Amino acid sequence: MVILGIDTSCDDTSSAVVADGRRILSSVVSSQTDIHRKYGGIVPELASRRHIEMIWPVVTEALETARVPLDSLDALAVCHGPGLIGSLLVGCNFAKAVGYARKLPLVGVNHLEGHMFSAFLEEEPPEFPFLSLIVSGGHTSLYLVHAFGSYTELGRTRDDAAGEAYDKVAKLLGLGYPGGPLIDRLAKSGNPGAFNFPRAYVPESFDFSFSGLKTAVRSVIQGAGLPAAGQTPPEETSLVRDIAASFQASVVDVLVRKVEWAIVGKGIRRVVLSGGVSANGELRKRMKEMAEEREVELFLPSPALCTDNAAMIAAAGHHRFLAGERAGLDLNPKAYLPL
């Protein structure tokens, strides 16, 4: 079974062809980072317009790379939320038009579910049940995955997502956008114990909170007299490196500790880490150490499958298609779409 996946949930236009929900025949991602970098974050209107420009070329390249004609597809899978509504509209309307014109079945996929099942595109996928920590620019959520389509949300962020906190702190430091890779790079040569930033463990809960951490970082930056946001500080100073390392240590400590609590509390011995922030080197290192100590299986998708991509949408769509789900022309995107 061959499915074409489409994802335009945020600022990347992506399309992929996946066979049997496991084998990637092609995966094409058109990044908009250069467009949004000058603004220090994603501008929704610009993202939507760029999706309109790139959706046909990206889908065409995915089909040509996979050497699969459009009429040979078994189905289309499109992300219909959550995400930026204008961006989602482009992908959903495109998929509905192609499905209608070529009489191809259409399946709607939740973006979070796509991240959750990105690990199934690797050589050794997890068995059910497993814990799924999704960490990205828009989401920080912890799920207990009983089976495909059966999920229990254990916790979510009460304010900023982890990736959002990275971007905001990077902006406060004047580092640029996207903030995650920049802070991760500087943190490698900084002292993670230089500043005792708060860890919001939110007792008796699997929820997350990063707004207080962001405020604490702002206070340190203002007290140190660093340049205001939008100006470029000397990145290689020890102060900037120490702030980056201390901030990252706080985020990673909370993420790892929450997963560890869930392992103990729920008795689950398998963990899947996904989402854009899961490509962070320190998070992957610390999660591996915790998994070895707790003797649990840890599944880390390759970095290309951590960030937004259409292969994960096709993988999740494969299972929904097998379950008999079909979307009609009334499929509408939703900015907020609980899993």
- Tell me the CA distances in angstroms from 92 to 6, 11, 85, 88, one per residue in order: 8, 15, 10, 6
What pLDDT is attached to residue 5? 98
The Cα–Cα gap between 296 and 59 comes to 39
Q: Which residues contact 92 (CB under 8 A, 6 or more apart)?
A: 78, 80, 108, 331, 332, 333
pLDDT digits (tens, 9 = 90+) for 253-275: 999 999 999 999 999 999 999 99
Is-contact 81 288, C-beta < 8 A?
Answer: no
Model confidence at 281: pLDDT above 90: yes
What is the side-by-side order of every strand in the sheet holding 2-7? 23-30, 13-19, 2-7, 75-81, 106-110
Question: With DSSP H G I counted as helix, E B as strand and the rest as coil, what are the percentages for the chain, rounded to 5?
Answer: 45, 20, 35
pLDDT digits (tens, 9 = 90+) for 212-264: 999 999 999 988 877 554 455 555 588 999 999 999 999 999 999 999 999 99
Tallying the residues shown for the chain, one arrives at: 339
What value does the mean pLDDT take over residues 302-330? 96
Confidence grade of residue 121 (pLDDT, cut at 50, 70, 90): very high
Secondary structure class of 68 (helix, strand, coil): coil
Q: Where are the alpha helices (DSSP H) in the chain?
A: 33-37, 44-66, 85-102, 111-116, 162-172, 179-187, 211-224, 238-266, 281-294, 303-306, 310-322
Average pLDDT, rounded, for the chain: 94
Is-contact 4 16, C-beta < 8 A?
Answer: yes
pLDDT digits (tens, 9 = 90+) for 4-59: 999 999 999 999 999 999 999 999 999 999 999 988 899 999 999 999 999 999 99
17 DSSP β-pair partners: 4, 26
What pLDDT is attached to residue 235? 59
Pairing mode, strands 75-81 and 130-135 = unpaired
Give the domains, in start order, of the chain with CATH numbers: 2-118+308-322 (3.30.420.40), 126-300 (3.30.420.40)
Model confidence at 149: pLDDT above 70: yes
Q: How many CB atoms lie within 10 A of CB 100?
A: 12
